Structure 1
Amino acid sequence: MLVFKTSRYMEYISERLAQYEHLQSLGFIMRSGDFFPSVHYPPITMYPTLTPGELLATYTPPADNKFDIYAHVPFCRQRCLFCHYPVQLGERSTEKDQYLSAYEQEMDIYMELLGYTHLKARSILVGGGTPTYLALDQLERFLQILDTRIDRSECTQYNYDVDPVTLIGKEGNERLKIMRDYGVDRLTIGVQSLNPSTLKLMNRHHGPEQALEAIADALKFGFQVNIEFIFGYLGQTLEDWIQVIEQAVGLGVEEIQLYRLKFEAYGDFQGPIKHQRERHPEVVPTVTETLAMKQAAINILNAHGYTENLRRVFSKKSEHYSHYADNQCCGLLDQLGFGLTAFSSLRDRFGLNTQNFDEYYQLIANRQLPLNRGLVRSLDEQIRWAIILPLKNRRVWKSYFQQVTGYSLNDIFQPKINALKTHGLLTEDADKIELTPLGAFFADEVAQQFHHPDHIPFPTLDYADGALNPYHHSEVFGGSHVE
């Protein structure tokens, strides 16, 4: 049965793998096929030190005084082996209370520096860690902290990242009710897999049954539900993966999100998964097996009415997507982040909070923002940022690009854009540039074509010396980098 089901997708998979090999020969994909996600520009691991004074000295709030708000809660029951974030593990009720107090003070310090008594939210995202891994009274306290400081009168979406186990049973249903009562309307459930063996290898503390129960309960409470899955995981096979996605499309959720396993740290912590790969290379899917999983999932999702609405996220209706992600990555709108490792992505600058718990507490106790890295973007960085994030996630509108940078997109990166068009990765018309289906499949690599050489994730010799080597034609204006 599985062999038959897999064979249904082999024509598409074979075509995609042939394209992968061709693009690799052009220098578009590094020789080993390794992967680095383009989530921010520059990548978070590459930001220099920055003080709060340097971040805010010349900053002016947006004209409409609206922000997208991110809130971070860095606690988990146990560490998933794929996780690249610093978290505290276990119950730690006392430290959770300490963290909530510091978090509350951080918001107050930020608002005081910006001159606000309330922050007007465009959208809200609460992430972690496991932000629902709080006792019920702590969860309500946290939501009250946000509620008393955030004006939600024009907030279009209130999203919460959640763990399946924290949603089930009597206590889990009480959490769902509390979140709903405070205005939360979208849940991203970290399912990761519905295969029991894969979940065990991930060191997840739930099985498929708990995940399915959590999804059903979240839908019952009326939330818009997005479920996440990781592909390319150790021990995972194409047949197992197809079973998972074919089960997922029948669950009645609005959105299904796919993540390729990341071995290298892309944030503040190197997850155990890199060590696991080194210890057990024999169970690591090959790059071609991993890409086959991605293509099979796309075919299954498309066949059941799910289309890619925002990069990596598939939905049946165009209105179902993360407003927070769209506003930050496509709209390039001002976003403020609070909590350990949280970042603030502003129109022309970026600030990143410390990843160290003790430093976080100490800075806030001294009435200082817990920020330690970031930059006020140069013109070169602003131009690249204004291409990379929108192009990867949806498209770059030429009129908006000129508004954000002061330059016409028609005068920027023309050799690079023409090469990507020639090789079927990019399309362009009078109004916009956007990825083709082939470009969307390799969206991270397309985005890295526009990185400054100092911010390309892999060395130049790791790529073939072809027409799409990212180090070629890397100048913004075709002649030189700008300052």
Structure 2
Amino acid sequence: MVANIKKSELIKLAGDQVRDFNAGELKNAGFLPLDGRCFVQMHYPPALYFPPVTEEEFFDGLDYKPSDPFIVYAHIPFCINRCIFCHFYIKTGASPEEKDKYLDTMEKEMDIYLDRLGIDKINTSAVNIGGGTPTDMSPAQLERFLVFFTRRLDLSSCRQTTWDVDPTTILGADGMEKLKLMRRYGADRITIGVQSFNDFILKKMNRAHTGRDAVDALKQAREAGFDNVCIDLIYGYPGQTLDGWVDEMETAISLEVDSMQLYRIRVAPIGHWANSIEKWWAKRQNDFPAYDETLIMRRIGYLMSEMNGYSDRHYTGLYTKKYEGISLYNKAHTAEFFDTIGLGPSSRVLLKNRLGMNARGGIETYTSLINQGRSAIEVGKLTTKEENQIRYLLGPLKFMREIEKEYYRKMTGVPLDTVFQKKIKMMKDFNLITEDDKKLMLTPRGHFFSDEVCVQFYQRKYLPFPRSSYAEGEFNPYNGLDS
């Protein structure tokens, strides 16, 4: 073991702690879904429920100064394979000509934003370039993107630029050239989509890389000058075992990555694009690790991280040795509600309580809208007072474990002590939440079940699972907030 504890002792310790959290009690109370599924809280309201919106409706009344800060996300949808677990919009098998055309469109989209917002450059606080696989382009295409992208941004106050990449796309001479281009244009953090080091599991995921490729990609990123390297790992996947998950964590820790994003396999949809994992669950649920085993895997990830100098105190689920190891874009987007410009199909946009999503119809819809000189935003809404009272609570509570009451009052105009009091009292009685005069905080039990805590505050129309998924206890979310 990396830490001074035997594998069997670690698994027993994690199991004992999970039993102390007593998931059975929470299932009987209607807090946890009976079938063990988990909905991952990222944004509220969920984009799945955004209605159609016109460009005129979305941008009406917006007024920005050149100094107003934004965070920027660029979606490059190209991938080698479609992974079984992926919920996002991607395109496989794109030709070089299709990728060039896509870059043409994104360059035009940036100019449309500058025009609509009445600014010459986007004052950028943090950047995330993801997908898809943004490094599934040639070095020449990558440089072309970086040139037009950075020319339209004011990066003088940018705190961090993160790239999300797949291992095979940064290997070899071409891969090193891409990594050096990214560094030259300001990238200071990289997230490598490892997902697993186990070749058997990778094959089940339909990943394009091997465990050896993942290790080589990490080394190559270091050689290119990246000193802030994160990896993604998935647990709860079909074929995984407790022993195997310990081995995955041990490999990651031995490679001295700077941070690790540990994901429970997402069966419930979080995007508009169907994937194979939902069908797999519906047909052969027994292929997946048992619910209790999945919870133990989560606790193993926590324990092994803490034992080896990592912590997720800065951002739930992302274990890092330093504050800079987290994605400042993700924190600003999900927990701090920065105005967000999203480029490319399926990207999310947040502008002063306006939530939007680009081109659900994919590249074809995206290209058509932009070539008409219009924004790519296809669905969206101005959030209501009630929705804001929920989303300004859930973001900090989920990702930061706590929310300051004065911050909540400032953002919503109402004291936190005057809303959701019945729900908060119930969760305090079940040792999920605690509070003092200044903060509302998750307990260790609440932190472990943070996604389910958040769902308790959802309006009925946004709940991810039907009423029958829950026991008819006091926590059944359909007995909660009105729609």
Q: Tell me which interval the TM-score lies in, with the shorter structure as reference length.
A: over 0.9
TM-score, scaled to structure 2: 0.95
State the partner residue of 1:156. Answer: 159
Report 1:355-434 matches (<5 A).
Answer: 355-356=360-361, 357-394=363-400, 395-434=402-441
Match 2:207 to one of 192, 204, 207: 204
TM-score, scaled to structure 1: 0.95
Q: Is 1:284 the counterpart of 2:288 in the alignment?
A: yes
Q: Secondary structure at the match of 2:325?
A: coil
Deviations 1:324-346 (A, max 9, x none): 11112221121110101011123
State the partner residue of 1:41. Answer: 44
Distance 1:15 1:304 in 2: 18
Q: Is 1:166 the counterpart of 2:186 in the alignment?
A: no
Q: How many residues align?
A: 475
Greater shift, 464-473 or 251-260, is seen at 464-473
Report 1:60-459 matches (<5 A).
Answer: 60-61=63-64, 64-223=67-226, 224-308=228-312, 309-356=314-361, 357-394=363-400, 395-459=402-466
Change (3 A) 1:454 1:319: same
Distance 1:238 1:58 in 2: 54
Change (3 A) 1:401 1:92: same
- 1:62–1:334 Cα contact (<8 Å) kept: no
Match 1:5 to one of 7, 12, 24: 7
- 1:415–1:473 Cα contact (<8 Å) kept: no
Q: Secondary structure at the match of 1:295?
A: helix
Deviations 1:50-85 (A, max 9, x none): 112111112233794100000000000111111112
Q: Which runs of 5 or more residues in structure 1 are unaligned?
A: 476-480
Amino acid at match of 2:403: V
- 1:17–1:291 Cα contact (<8 Å) kept: no
- 2:191–2:229 Cα contact (<8 Å) kept: yes
Q: Secondary structure at the match of 2:356?
A: strand
Query: CA shift at 1:280, angstroms?
Result: 4.1
Greater shift, 461-470 or 218-227, is seen at 461-470
Distance 2:435 2:76 in 1: 41
- 2:180–2:224 Cα contact (<8 Å) kept: yes
Distance 1:91 1:6 in 2: 47
Greater shift, 275-284 or 125-134, is seen at 275-284
Greater shift, 190-199 or 427-436, is seen at 427-436
- 2:74–2:128 Cα contact (<8 Å) kept: yes
Deviations 1:227-252 (A, max 9, x none): 00011111111111110001111111
Change (3 A) 1:92 1:17: farther
Distance 2:8 2:59 in 1: 54
Q: Secondary structure at the match of 1:310?
A: coil
Distance 2:467 2:117 in 1: 42
State the partner residue of 1:478. Answer: none
Q: Secondary structure at the match of 2:477?
A: coil
Distance 1:15 1:163 in 2: 34
Distance 1:92 1:427 in 2: 54
- 1:117–1:149 Cα contact (<8 Å) kept: yes
Amino acid at match of 1:106: E
Distance 2:446 2:118 in 1: 43
Amino acid at match of 1:6: S
- 2:354–2:381 Cα contact (<8 Å) kept: yes
Query: CA shift at 1:399, angstroms?
Result: 1.3
Amino acid at match of 2:303: N
State the partner residue of 1:55. Answer: 58
State the partner residue of 1:15. Answer: 17
Change (3 A) 1:281 1:384: closer
